[in-house]
């Protein structure tokens, strides 16, 4: 256990949406380690808990079989994590059709989500409404195939998460059963294919828990997790398990090689507990606030 300090304090850090290479970091974590930081009130908080070789090959293969093709599809909904293009000041731009979009990257969600489809926002009159994701709704066989992998990660979270797992379990118990991934404390999974995330903080997920990060794949190097303000990098590899504070700025180093890197983040969406009232638009069922 070690406490790490922010080398660059919040009020001086202006690199969100940017990339950081391996040479930026002065502390490199290779092996099992727990790292902490002091919050603004001087309280000790978990920055990361890193456990090597915790995902058996059986479950890595399940993850690849169930989610690889989904994760290759490109979307423009990842905001700052998609990066700020060269010459721009923000991560988004307005298209010819008037839509505000970030860069298209291979990042997708499965499970359940607390935002409506874009085309239904006007009819619902809100941007907060819960639903089954398109992948889970339309690919039930693949979703069921992938559940043992997610549930195994939940067991690791229970083993290593401590009070954070307890807090998340209490939050999970407040959520409608139709919006929960069974036998876990998660509602949502984000999967990323060969995507080097830019510097960002995760938004919209439960503040009292920790992000669960797993990497699978083959024939690649890099894609390590960095906390730029701390100048700390974790050399995560296929089969490793990482709990991390996703509300601190983080990003990936470059991904190299001819293979593929598939990463997963498992969490609860913070508005899920508020969704109670059934409303249907065409064939899409929502629980609204």
In a domain, 163, yes or no: yes
- Structural domain containing residue 240: 2-82+101-288
CATH of the domain at 237: 3.60.130.30
Average pLDDT, the chain: 92
How far apart are alpha carbons 14 and 32 in whole angstroms?
31
In a domain, 92, yes or no: no
- Tens digit of pLDDT for each residue in 17-63? 999 999 999 999 999 999 999 998 999 999 999 999 999 999 999 99
On whether the CB atoms of residues 17 and 251 are closer than 8 A, the answer is no
How far apart are alpha carbons 214 and 244 in whole angstroms?
11
Model confidence band, residue 78 (pLDDT cutoffs 50, 70, 90): low
How far apart are alpha carbons 47 and 39 in whole angstroms?
10
Query: Is the pLDDT assigned to residue 227 strictly greater than 50?
Result: yes
How far apart are alpha carbons 32 and 196 in whole angstroms?
23
In a domain, 96, yes or no: no
Model confidence band, residue 212 (pLDDT cutoffs 50, 70, 90): very high
Strand 232-234 to strand 27-29: parallel, antiparallel, or no bridges (unpaired)? Answer: parallel
In a domain, 91, yes or no: no
- Look at residue 171 and give its three-state secondary structure: helix
In a domain, 23, yes or no: yes
Q: Could you give the number of structural domains in the chain?
A: 1
In a domain, 95, yes or no: no
In a domain, 256, yes or no: yes
**Which pLDDT belongs to residue 94?**
47
State the burial class of residue 75 (Cβ atoms within 10 Å of its Cβ: 0-12, 13-18, 19+): middle
In a domain, 93, yes or no: no
Max CA-CA distance within the chain? Answer: 54
- Tens digit of pLDDT for each residue in 143-177? 999 999 999 999 999 999 999 999 999 999 999 99
């Amino acid at each position: 256990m070690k406490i790490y300090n922010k080398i660059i304090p919040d009020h001086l850090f202006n690199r969100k949406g940017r990339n950081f290479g391996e040479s930026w970091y002065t502390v490199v974590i290779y092996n099992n380690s727990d790292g902490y930081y002091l919050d603004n009130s001087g309280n000790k908080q978990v920055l990361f808990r890193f456990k090597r070789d915790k995902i058996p090959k059986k479950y890595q293969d399940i993850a690849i079989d169930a989610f690889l093709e989904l994760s290759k599809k490109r979307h423009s909904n990842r905001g700052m994590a998609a990066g700020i293009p060269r010459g721009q000041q923000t991560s988004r731009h307005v298209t010819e059709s008037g839509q505000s979009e970030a860069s298209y990257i291979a990042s997708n969600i499965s499970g359940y989500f607390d935002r409506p489809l874009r085309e239904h926002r006007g009819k619902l009159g809100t941007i907060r409404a819960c639903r089954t994701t398109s992948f889970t709704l339309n690919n039930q066989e693949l979703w069921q195939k992938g559940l043992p992998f997610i549930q195994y990660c939940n067991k690791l979270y229970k083993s290593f998460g401590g009070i954070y797992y307890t807090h998340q379990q209490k939050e999970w118990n407040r959520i409608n059963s139709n919006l929960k991934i069974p036998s876990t404390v998660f509602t949502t999974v984000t999967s990323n294919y060969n995507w080097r995330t830019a510097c960002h903080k995760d938004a919209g997920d439960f503040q009292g828990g920790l992000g669960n990060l797993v990497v699978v794949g083959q024939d690649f190097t890099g894609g390590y997790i960095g906390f730029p303000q701390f100048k700390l990098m974790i050399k995560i590899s296929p089969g490793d398990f990482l709990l991390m504070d996703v509300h601190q700025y983080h990003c990936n180093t470059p991904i190299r090689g001819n293979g593929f890197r598939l990463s997963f983040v498992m969490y609860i969406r913070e508005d899920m507990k508020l969704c109670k009232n059934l409303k249907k638009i065409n064939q899409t069922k929502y629980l609204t606030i």
